[in-house]
């Protein structure tokens, strides 16, 4: 049972995504942005703890290899989309498109390799991209939840920060695809 905990946490993170969306965008509940922030942070914590437990106790599963990155993509993708739709101008739609296209491309690449029984782990650039995205999204959600008026300086900081995140996101995707240009098509190496 203990060995299933990382996978349970990953599944919980996936299940929290529609709850986050509902609270952030569709619910008439008072303080819904605050509750959406709580759900988002809870989902982030499941990501931390499932990774921590998997590494500490060497609990590696094919489910975790596939679903953990997918859960991250679903959570960050939903957050970026709905923050872009929020009343505050925090993230440019172009940045959201860049991030979503990178995530879709990497997901397709991973799926192609999974069919060949090759699992592509996250590299340091993908992890950095995730940390930067999560930190920025958490800060943006805090701002939306607790600041009722717009502050031009804070919005400018978000603007430039998320462009930096977009550049790291592009680079982190490129490092997966560049080796493909130099491998033989009949080989399984990456």
Domain boundaries of the chain, sorted by first residue = 2-182
CA distance 17 to 10: 11
Contact 60, 54 (CB under 8 A): yes
CA distance 39 to 21: 10
Three-state DSSP class for residue 86: coil
Question: What is the dotted CATH code of the domain comprising 2-182?
Answer: 1.20.120
> Each residue's pLDDT tens digit in the chain (190 positions)?
678 899 999 999 999 999 999 999 998 888 999 999 999 999 999 999 998 998 889 888 888 878 988 899 999 999 999 999 988 889 999 999 999 999 999 889 888 888 888 777 778 998 899 899 999 999 999 999 998 788 999 999 999 999 999 999 999 999 988 877 777 655 444 4
Single pTM value for the model: 0.87
């Amino acid at each position: 049972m203990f060995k299933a905990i990382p996978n349970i946490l990953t599944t919980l993170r996936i299940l929290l995504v529609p709850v986050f969306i509902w609270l952030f965008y569709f619910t008439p509940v008072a303080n819904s942005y605050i509750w959406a922030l709580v759900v988002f942070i809870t989902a982030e914590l499941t990501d931390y703890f499932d990774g921590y437990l998997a590494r500490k106790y060497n609990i590696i599963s094919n489910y975790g290899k596939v679903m953990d990155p997918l859960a991250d993509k679903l959570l960050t993708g939903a957050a970026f989309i709905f923050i872009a739709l929020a009343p505050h101008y925090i993230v440019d739609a172009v940045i959201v498109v860049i991030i979503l296209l990178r995530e879709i491309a990497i997901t397709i690449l991973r799926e192609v390799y999974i069919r060949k029984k090759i699992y592509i782990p996250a590299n340091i650039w993908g992890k950095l991209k995730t940390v930067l995205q999560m930190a920025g999204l958490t800060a943006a959600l805090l701002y939306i939840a607790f600041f009722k008026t717009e502050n031009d300086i804070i919005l400018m900081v978000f603007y430039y920060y998320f462009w930096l995140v977009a550049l790291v996101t592009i680079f982190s995707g490129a490092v997966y695809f560049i080796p493909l240009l130099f491998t033989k098509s009949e080989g399984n190496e990456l």
